[in-house]
Amino acid sequence: MRNKTCMTNTSYPACCTGLRCLFRCALACMLLFSSGCAGSYSAQGVKYSGKNAKKYTSLPILVHENKLMELLENISSLFGIEYHYGGQSIRGFDCSGFVNYIYQDTFDVYLPRTSRELAEIGRKIPPGKLKRGDLVFFRINGSEIDHVGIYLDSDLFAHASSSRGVTMGNLNNSYYKKRFVKAVRLLELSGSRRR
């Protein structure tokens, strides 16, 4: 069970020590000092997985601002969980399994399972216009998209790394900068659409 009290308890409980606490504090500070707002765009369908293969949810996913804080809390609670190819639970994640888990847990939506399928939905966003919750895509091992993460703030993104598990990366890091392909937006703050 994930412990979300570390983000709100100012008495610094035992679970909030070391590197995990640093990540949580950094994410909380970023949320307080910046706010994100997604622009409007035409609705698209996202195919549900598993038993609900015939159902769709429309994009953009409309969210309240408090859900963006919950997104950061949910991500920070998973830092350090190990990488598992094909994993999509707290026992271990691969990159797209991590994205799916976070989006389902935070927004109660189902997304395509692979990074390549995820790259086909949403609205493409230029790197300089990224907002919290956008998906960022990379070519790590070849010519096709094979890695995805969730943009946080200040060029930082969360992802499931095959070498470090769930962690943060920086888009300005030469390794990721060289391999960055695109970003897409799935979220829109409710009330921000043009009428």
Annotated catalytic sites, by residue? 95, 147, 159
Amino acid identity at 50: G
Orientation angle between helical segments 95-107 and 65-76, nearest 10 degrees: 140
Query: Which among 70, 71, 65, 60 has a CA at the least distance from the CA of 194?
Result: 60
Strands 180-185 and 123-124 come out as: antiparallel
Question: Pairing mode, if any, of strands 135-138 and 147-153?
Answer: antiparallel
Which has the closest alpha carbon to 147: 102, 191, 98?
98
Query: What token pair was written down for 2?
Result: 């994930």
Q: Which residues pair with 182 in a beta bridge?
A: 137
Rounded to whole angstroms, the Cα distance separating 53 from 56 reads 8
Distance CA 2, CA 91 (A): 12
Report phi then psi at 156, rounded to 5. Answer: -95, 145
